[in-house]
Amino acid sequence: MKRLHEAKVSGKTVLVRVDFNVPLDAEGRITDDRRIRQTLPTLNWLLEQGAAVVVCSHLGRPKGHDPKLSLKHLHNPLSDLLGRDVLFVDDCIGPKALHICKNIDPGDVVLLENLRFHPEEEQGDAEFAAQLAWNGSVYVNDAFGAAHRPHASISVIAQYFPKEKYAGLLMAAEVDNAERVLGGSKSPYIAVLGGAKVADKIPVLQNLIERLDGLFIGGGMAYTFLKAQGVAIGRSLCEDDRLEAARRILDRAAARGIPVLLPRDVVVAEAIDRPETARTVPVDSIPTDAMGLDIGPQTVEALAELLSGAQTVLWNGPVGVFEQAAFAQGTAGVAAALARACASGAYVLIGGGDTAAAIDQLSDPSLFSYVSTGGGALLEYLEGRELPGLAALT
């Protein structure tokens, strides 16, 4: 995989695939511009090298042309962040886009319209990819968050740039940091996994279990593991069809002598929308009419002990419904424990969109070694699967 610093881009027009899939409010204002800011090093490097830059991205899941999901909403914010005027084009292919992209000068920046306004993007259509490729003479993929998608602008377009395709600075950083928790991890290596769905994490666990020295499982997925051990979980979230897979993970960890920490106490409530009923109970005392929605303080303390002396830590998935204050203390406690581990010399990778959002809300991203932009892409990478966007660059 060739990296951006190997590119000679002076006087050339560079087509940059980014992941600007940012959240918008009802008025079309960006509520979190992290994904745009994290691409700025790549865009600024290209401009400093004397390139003209054409930026393309998807936004949301439109069905045809949807003005609410137009990249026009990103035009002014991107101009402000780059400190220069950005020209917006209301399509990403076709005569108008091609004419503009062929007649821009070094230092100019063009933002193309939402790629997914064309269904051919998600279909991986080669003709669409070819037309998009005409907008530049060099291709840079900086969209790690979409690298697991076999879409036209991700996995197909690179064939039209056989000698001029590169990984952007963000893409390279994502791969390098993911590799630190795969092949290059230092022991003791602890994984902290949460989130709602066991199905999302079982493949990751199957791939990582041989590398780990300790494992913590929290969040909604923990109740499937608890039930697999015979614990009564009340009305807590559970994937009954994953109970056997959970048992196999626990058995494999036991065979390897890896300590697995499950919640010891939990915050329960009658329902997510009934925070006034929240209370902390031992994990073996979950009422039949209640559901677990966060981990308790004893569990946070036990996790801090598990992390003592850790050299590598992966955290993927919140451990509670952190969006509500009544169920956010567990995730805040995990963040604090991991920040202390990082300050003590551990490499701490934070992965997943929800986990990054939790860090923004409850902690400070600068306290950790790296906060990944990849949700599904990072999970698939940690599963050991080949990502189409990376394969296309090699």
Average pLDDT over residues 361-370: 94
Which residues does residue 165 pair with via DSSP β-bridges, in sequence order? 139
- Residues 132 and 257 grouped into a single domain: no
- Residues 292 and 238 grouped into a single domain: yes
- Residues 234 and 302 grouped into a single domain: yes
* Two tokens, residue 137: 């003479």
Average pLDDT, the chain: 95
Is the pLDDT score of 151 beyond 80?
yes
Q: Is residue 390 in some structural domain? A: no
- Residues 219 and 86 grouped into a single domain: no
56-82 pLDDT tens trace = 999 999 999 999 999 999 999 999 999
Q: Is residue 241 in some structural domain? A: yes
Domain final residue, candidates 170, 203, 222: 170
Contact between 152 and 119 under an 8 Å Cβ cutoff? The reply is: no
Residue range of the domain that includes 221? 181-382
> How confident is the model at residue 341, as a pLDDT?
96
Domain final residue, candidates 170, 189, 208: 170
Contact between 301 and 336 under an 8 Å Cβ cutoff? The reply is: no
Reported pTM: 0.90
Domain final residue, candidates 148, 170, 192: 170
Q: Is residue 329 in some structural domain? A: yes
Write the DSSP assignment of 198-219 as a string of letters: HHHHHHHHHHHTTT-SEEEE-S
- Residues 26 and 114 grouped into a single domain: yes
- Residues 144 and 229 grouped into a single domain: no
> How confident is the model at residue 270, as a pLDDT?
96
> How confident is the model at residue 94, as a pLDDT?
96
Is the pLDDT score of 233 beyond 80?
yes
* Two tokens, residue 151: 């879409």
Q: Is residue 387 in some structural domain? A: no
Q: Is residue 388 in some structural domain? A: no
- Residues 114 and 250 grouped into a single domain: no
If one counts the domains in the chain, the total is 2
Q: Is residue 214 in some structural domain? A: yes
CB atoms within 10 A of CB 26: 6
> How confident is the model at residue 73, as a pLDDT?
96
- Residues 137 and 272 grouped into a single domain: no
Distance between alpha carbon 305 and the CA centroid of its chain, in Å? 27
Q: Is residue 176 in some structural domain? A: no
4-26 pLDDT tens trace = 999 999 999 999 999 999 999 99
* pLDDT tier at 286, thresholds 50, 70, 90: very high
Q: Which amino acid is at 379?
A: L
Question: What dihedral do alpha carbons 323, 325, 331, 333 form, nearest 10°?
Answer: 160
Q: Is residue 35 in some structural domain? A: yes
- Residues 238 and 359 grouped into a single domain: yes
> How confident is the model at residue 312, as a pLDDT?
95
> How confident is the model at residue 138, as a pLDDT?
98
- Residues 213 and 161 grouped into a single domain: no
What is the rounded distance in angstroms from the CA atom of residue 352 to the CA atom of residue 373? 7
CATH of residue 162's domain is 3.40.50.1260
| Catalytic positions | 35, 197, 353, 376
* C-alpha to C-alpha distances, 353 to 8, 23, 350, 360, nearest whole angstrom: 33, 12, 9, 11
- Residues 103 and 187 grouped into a single domain: no
- Residues 210 and 135 grouped into a single domain: no
* pLDDT tier at 185, thresholds 50, 70, 90: confident
236-270 pLDDT tens trace = 999 999 999 999 999 999 999 999 999 999 999 99
Is the pLDDT score of 311 beyond 90?
yes
